Structure formats: structure tokens, C-alpha cells
Amino acid sequence: MSGLEIERKFLVRNDDYKRQAFSSSRICQGYICSGHGRTVRVRIRDNRGYLTIKGPSNADGLSRYEFEKEITLEEATQLMKLCEPGSIDKTRYLVKSGSHTFEVDEFYGENEGLVMAEVELQSEDEPFEKPDFIGREVTGDRRYYNAHLLKNPFTAWGKGEESADR
């Protein structure tokens, strides 16, 4: 898959997403390189591998170019050895809401306690139904980008840096 990725990100208020989810999978990902808004990511999702290249986001953080290709698990395992130090470890839950599917990520390790949801859209102004567990929008807030969380993990943020009103 490649093309323009348009998505909105939100903090999650409670764990209602777990009972609403129709699917879940474990994800471990690393970054071969990340900087200036561009990333080359290696992901292992359950027993499948992926290589993803993302370009910089537009000014409001809603869209950016994304190229993703499935690779073998062996290739992904080998490429993980080339990644920058650290990794992102999370479980992704899929929750249907209206005609959209929200991806809810529950983070572990140095990002324990962070739960975010995102929804992919066809256009930046496309309407969508928010599930009740959706909290404050963080679209465009670079602190919540996975590549940023690798270098500045959630557990290291100062008190009050994350919003209490999730």
C-alpha cells in the first residue's frame, strides 16, 4: 500500500474499547531511521512483517505520504537488528464505529499507561462517529508520534505534560 495517509489521533478515556474490539494483535516496531518528520519503520504484527516509509506531515498533522510493504517475518526480524535503540511494544485493538474502524493502541514498556486511538479518513474533512471512549484530540502533536515516543517515552514525561482530561 502506498499513498496519502489521512488520520486523526485521540487519547483514550477508559478501557471500554477492549469489550468493543472485534480484533486485537500484538505489535513490536523499531525505526531504522527517524528524523525531520520522515521515518523508516520495521514492524512485526503477530507473525507478519512490514516495512513502512513515512514522509513528513502537513502543517496540521492530518496527512502525510506512506508506503508500506509486507515482508517476511525473517526479513523483519533481521531488519529489527538494524534499528535505532529501543522499540515500541503495544497491543492494537480494532473497534468499529459507524462506517470507520478505530485502531486503539495500548502501550507497554517505557510507554506504559499511554492509550491512543486513531481513525483513517478518505479526506481531511470527512465526518466520523467517535466512540464514547475517545478523549482529547492529539492530531499533529508530535509528542504522540511513535517515533517520538521511542526517543521520549511517555513514562519520562513531566507531571502535567500529558493531559489529565484524556
**Whole-number Cα distances in Å, 38 to 1, 25, 45, 87, 151:** 17, 25, 21, 17, 14
Of 121, 131, 143, the C-alpha closest to 15 is 131
Residues 86-97 have a mean pLDDT of 97
| DSSP 8-state symbol, 18 | H
- Residue 126 belongs to domain with CATH number: 2.40.320.10
pLDDT at 61: 84
Q: How many domains does the structure of the chain reveal?
A: 1
In a domain, residue 26? The reply is yes
Give the residue numbers marked as catalytic: 31
Residue 123 structural domain: 4-154
In a domain, residue 163? The reply is no
- How confident is the model over 95-132, as pLDDT tens digits? 999 999 999 999 999 999 999 999 999 999 999 999 99
> Highest mean pLDDT: which of 35-44, 98-107, 139-148, 151-160?
98-107
- Minimum mean pLDDT among 1-5, 67-71, 120-124: which range? 1-5
In a domain, residue 165? The reply is no
